[in-house]
Amino acid sequence: MATAITMPKLGMTMTEGTVDEWFKAEGDTITKDEAVCIISSEKLTHEVTAPAAGTLVKIVAPVGTTVECQQPIAYVGQKGEKIEDNQSAVKEQPAPAQPQNDFQEPPEIAPEPTSAPHRLFATPLAKKLAQKYHYDLQLIPGTGGNGRITRRDVERYRPTLSPQTPAPATKSANGQPLTGMRPAIAQHMRTSLSTTAQVTLHQKANLTALLTFKKELTQKTKRTLTAAPTKLMTLLARAVILALKDTPTMNSWYQDQKVWPQSQINLGIAVNLPEGLVVPVVESVQNMTLTELGTMINERIEQAQNGTLASRHYSGSTFTITNLGKVGVDYFTPIINSPEVGILGVGSIQTELTLTEEQQVQKISCLPLSLTFDHQVIDGYPAAEFLQKIVQYLEDPYSLIL
């Protein structure tokens, strides 16, 4: 029986995607996990891989076609196998993606899509080739969905001595519309703020013992300071995981005025890309060792930055960590990644002077933490206890490996 290659869901705000380019044709032999096409949404461009080995027996979504998430775009099976036409679920005209949450329970009603004209679409491969050959992407006609420029468009392009300069986009007197990922991000943020009662708490964690522990762990395991298990993000993530185990309500989804407790902890790590913010997810972290946790966090972040992260790892998080410490921010007010009920903001490590019990001046390192929680689900006191648990685990670093 043929296996469907489906339109992936690249995060909670995606409901449909457009096929930009097919790498394979009907009748071609493909292997499992081989890239067969490129799809795009308002949020990301992504390569779709084959779920099984065999023959590409039917393409039901040609280039430029928009398909709802989780619906077939092609089938892989045995050579000569027939696929009925009524198995496809393809739209005739491309349309902007509408925000929607990817949960096990019924999704929220999605608001009307936001149009964003005058956008320059290009696949990651097309951008790399254009940069390599010093081509101006604005001069290359795009044949992909929504006029997206594909790798083949760049390969076929031949610059002339006097290329025709495209007319500049007409600017509105009231400003420019949001483009790229921004409409989807903006809608998701508005939805989060309009459906939750968000409150933010701030607290510092004394990292002096943790940083000493980190050095000892590095020396005894003969790992570098940047190795995955000894990275500060890995140790912080472990503290959050342990605190979530102690406070199950914080590891829940809130939707349709109901709380949906989650049996496993799926940790989201906010990552900033040139196109906007994405949240790759590390699933089932509750039983991982420090090495497994650090390795998976590193892999998810790198793959998200390279555009190679599988679509299933963009959704399903139960709690998110976002870090602005690298740009010098101390405290801030992170917005909840709905339908989660909490998000932890991480600031920049600070050096402070304090008095010991013996009245001696001591230099310590502190980490500012900002917890935003949904007051509909959890009250301020238990939320403060949750944040305090994170601080306690960080200040008692040996508890992270017990």
Catalytic residue set: 375, 379
Which of 302, 319, 160 shows the shortest CA–CA distance to 239? 319
- Cα–Cα distance measured from residue 103 to residue 107, given in angstroms and rounded to the nearest whole number: 7
The contacts of residue 55 (CB under 8 Å, 6+ apart) are 27, 28, 29, 30, 76, 77, 78, 79, 81
Distances (CA, A) of 47 to 146, 162, 401: 17, 35, 38
For 294, how many CA atoms within 13 A lie in the half-sphere containing its CB? 17
Looking at the DSSP assignment, which residues form a beta bridge with residue 98?
none
- Cα–Cα distance measured from residue 91 to residue 93, given in angstroms and rounded to the nearest whole number: 6
CB 339 within 8 A of CB 103: yes
- Cα–Cα distance measured from residue 135 to residue 138, given in angstroms and rounded to the nearest whole number: 9
Q: Which residue has the tokens 């044709």?
A: 25
Distances (CA, A) of 178 to 46, 49, 106, 117, 296: 21, 30, 29, 9, 33
- Is the previous residue joined to 168 through a cis bond, with omega within 30 degrees of 0? no
Cβ atoms within 10 A of the Cβ of 356, count? Answer: 9
Using alpha carbons only, what angle is made at residue 14 by residues 13 and 20, rounded to the nearest 5 degrees? 145
The contacts of residue 292 (CB under 8 Å, 6+ apart) are none
Q: Which residue has the tokens 């010093």?
A: 134
- Cα–Cα distance measured from residue 30 to residue 49, given in angstroms and rounded to the nearest whole number: 10
- Cα–Cα distance measured from residue 336 to residue 401, given in angstroms and rounded to the nearest whole number: 29
Per the structure block, which two tokens stand in for 183?
Answer: 């409409």
